[in-house]
Amino acid sequence: MGKRQLVLEDGTVFIGDGFGSTQEAIGEVVFNTGMTGYQEVITDPSYCGQIVMMTYPLTGNYGINRDDMETVTPFIHGFIVKEVAEYPSNFRSEETLDDYLKANHIPGIAGIDTRKLTKTIRLQGTMKGAIADITIPSEEIVRKLHKTDLAKNQVQKTSTLKPYVVPGRGKRIVVVDCGMKHGILRELTKRNCHITVVPYNYSAEDILRLKADGLLVTNGPGDPKDVPETMNMLQQVVGKLPVFGICLGHQLLALACGAETEKMTFGHRGSNHPVKDLLTNKTYITSQNHSYAVQRASLAKTNLELTQIALNDGTVEGIKHKLFPAFSVQYHPESSPGPEDTNHLFDSFLKLTEQVMKGEEVYA
Ligand SMILES: NC(=O)CC[C@H](N)C(=O)O
């Protein structure tokens, strides 16, 4: 495709080779440290509004396959890599990364100094950026970036519009879709659940009318404070249904129970983030993708207990309610991509629904 440029809002310019779609992209530039899993990253709806750079220098080597999609329509705004493989080699590969990005209107840029970009983001925090044609003066793009506010309605874009059912004979679980990865459905169907997926703004009343055994609130893009609908619903449902929150769902549970959330400098994105479970003293390697975190000090004024912390920086990775069956984690227990160390959390959630059903006096 020829040369293209990546321009950051602070004026930094990287010249590279365009691939994927030729359109212009604007988004928050973030980095992911996973060495594999680019297909799951591209198709994770939590990246809506973001331009993602992979720190691992080779991407596209095993192509794109039909099995590792995390959503039907990807929402990522752009993709940055050091080197993109033109000829993937893997028995599951159906097409190249370039073809997939072209077909889904996602621009990519390769051949830039990804280590420099990582260091810039680590020092200054995430910034807005654009992947654009080389012919446009970079000052013009910087001006445009300063004028552009990143959208606040990302969950509205990534959530399902209508409820639907994935039938099963086991526990009845309502999944509130804030931008759900298919991995969450995979874990629940593996455990024979009867799943009702509902939009992010489904009311507490309508959820309770479904007479489910448990409620799962999924991952999703953007700032949790931009999703008051789901937060208000949780305030009414906690204590009436066992609740499991994943990533954005975790942040929303925290807000619903009176805790605070804050934006991190550059977030956690990768497949090898160590997390310590304070209740069992075990350490898990987890898959993560988040910009926001629950403010640790704010838990003191709530009925929430800190259950897990990130070992790299001490941030909150898990909480549980002290009075009601509700718990959540900041990372992705469904992995995809990444280690499956914390897959058992889906079993813990279903066990909790069982205990509540039997009327046992148990909390998460
Ligand atoms: N993967 C997620 O659910 C991310 C949650 C939230 N959008 C964040 O960036 O912190």
pLDDT single digits (tens) 243-271: 999 999 999 999 999 999 999 999 999 99
CA 142 to chain centre: 27
From residue 131, alpha-carbon distances to 89, 109, 134, 208, 283 in Å are 28, 7, 9, 45, 39
Query: What tens digit of pLDDT does each residue of 284-336 get?
Result: 999 999 999 999 999 999 999 999 999 999 999 999 999 999 999 999 999 98
> Measuring from each residue's beta carbon to the nearest atom of ligand 1, which residues come in under 6 Å?
46, 219-222, 247-248, 289-292
pLDDT tier at 50, thresholds 50, 70, 90: very high
- Pick the atom of ligand 1 nearest to 178's CA: 3
d(CA 256, CA 239): 12
Rounded to 10 deg, the angle between the 248-256 and 228-237 helix axes is 60
The question of whether 247 is a catalytic residue gets the answer yes
Does residue 101 have a pLDDT over 60?
yes
Neighbouring residues of 170: CB distance < 8 A, sequence distance ≥ 6 = 191, 192, 193, 194, 350
Task: Report angle CA 337, 338, 341 to the nearest 5 degrees.
Answer: 135
Cα(234)–Cα(249) distance, integer angstroms: 10
Cα(88) to centroid(ligand 1), Å: 30
**Residue 59 DSSP symbol:** E
Q: What is the pLDDT of residue 90?
A: 98
Among candidate residues 48, 178, 193, 247, the one labeled active-site is: 247
- Measured distance CA(127)–CA(8) in Å, rounded: 7
* Domain limits, the chain: 3-147, 154-357
DSSP code for 58: E
- The interface predicted TM-score (ipTM) is 0.98
Q: Which residue has the higher pLDDT, 346 or 336?
A: 346
Taking the CA of residue 221 as reference, the ligand 1 atom at the shortest distance is 7
Backbone angles phi, psi at 132, to 5 degrees: -145, 170
The single residue listed with the structure tokens 């075990």 is 282
The residues, ordered by sequence, that sit 6+ positions from 56 with a Cβ below 8 Å of its Cβ are 33, 34, 35, 36
**Residue stretches of the annotated binding site for L-glutamine:** 46, 220, 222, 248, 251, 289, 292
- Judged against a pLDDT cut of 90, whether residue 167 lies above it is answered with yes
3-147 to CATH, choices 3.40.50.720, 3.50.30.20, 3.40.309.10, 3.40.250.10: 3.50.30.20
pLDDT above 90 for 363: no
**pLDDT reported for residue 361:** 75
Is residue 273 very low, low, confident or very high in pLDDT (cuts 50, 70, 90)? very high
Round to whole Å and give the CA distance between 333 and 69.
17
Q: Tell which residue, 137, 110, 80, has the closest CA to residue 18.
A: 110
Model confidence at 364: pLDDT above 80: no
Over residues 212-230, mean pLDDT: 98
Distance CA 244, CA 341 (A): 17
Helices (DSSP H) in the chain: which residue ranges? 38-42, 97-103, 114-124, 138-147, 154-158, 182-190, 204-209, 228-237, 248-256, 344-357
Percent of the residues in the chain that have a pLDDT greater than 70, as a whole number: 99
The answer to whether the 3-147 and 154-357 domains have the same CATH topology is no
The count of C-alpha atoms lying within 13 angstroms of the C-alpha of 273, restricted to the half-sphere facing its C-beta, is 31
Which pLDDT band, with edges at 50, 70 and 90, does 360 fall under?
A: confident
Mean pLDDT of the chain: 97
For residue 56, name the pLDDT band (cuts at 50, 70, 90): very high
Pocket residue to mutate for ligand 1, from 159, 175, 247, most atoms within 8 A of Cβ: 247
- Which option is the CATH number for 154-357: 3.40.50.1370, 3.60.15.10, 3.40.50.880, 3.50.50.60? 3.40.50.880
Contacts 24+ apart (CB under 8 A), 231-234: 231/255, 231/256, 232/204, 232/256, 233/176, 233/201, 233/202, 233/203, 233/204, 233/207
Q: How far apart are CA 125 and CA 31, in angstroms?
A: 11
Hey, what's the torsion of the CAs at 53, 260, 305, 296, to 10 degrees? 60
Per-residue pLDDT, averaged over 153-167, amounts to 98
Going by pLDDT thresholds of 50, 70 and 90, the confidence category of residue 207 is: very high
